[in-house]
Amino acid sequence: MCQNHVIQCECKRSRANFMNLRDLLPPQILSHLYCPQCSDRVTFNPETMVKDNGWILEFDMEAARVFLMSEGVPGKAITPDFIFDQGYFTWNGFTPTEIEDRMKEREEIMKLAKVDRRKFMEELKSWGINRMERFKSEGWRKTANL
Q: Which domain holds residue 107?
A: 98-143
pLDDT given for residue 145 in this prediction? 80
Does 122 score more than 80 pLDDT? Answer: yes
Does residue 122 sit in the same domain as residue 79?
Answer: no
Q: In which band, very low, low, confident or very high, does the pLDDT at 96 lie, cut at 50, 70 and 90?
A: very high
Number of domains in the chain: 2
Does 117 score more than 70 pLDDT? Answer: yes
Does residue 53 sit in the same domain as residue 107?
Answer: no
What single string gives the DSSP state of each residue in the chain?
-PPPEEEE-TTSS-EEEEE-GGG-S-GGGEEEEE-TTTGGGS---TTTEEEETTEEEEE-HHHHHHHHHTTT--GGG--HHHHHHTTSSEESSSSTTHHHHHHHHHHHHHHHHHH-HHHHHHHHHHHHHHHHHHHHHHT-GGGTT-
Does residue 76 sit in the same domain as residue 111?
Answer: no
Q: In which band, very low, low, confident or very high, does the pLDDT at 126 lie, cut at 50, 70 and 90?
A: very high
Find the mean pLDDT for residues 10-19: 97
Q: In which band, very low, low, confident or very high, does the pLDDT at 1 lie, cut at 50, 70 and 90?
A: low
Does 87 score more than 80 pLDDT? Answer: yes
Does residue 83 sit in the same domain as residue 107?
Answer: no
Does residue 77 sit in the same domain as residue 110?
Answer: no
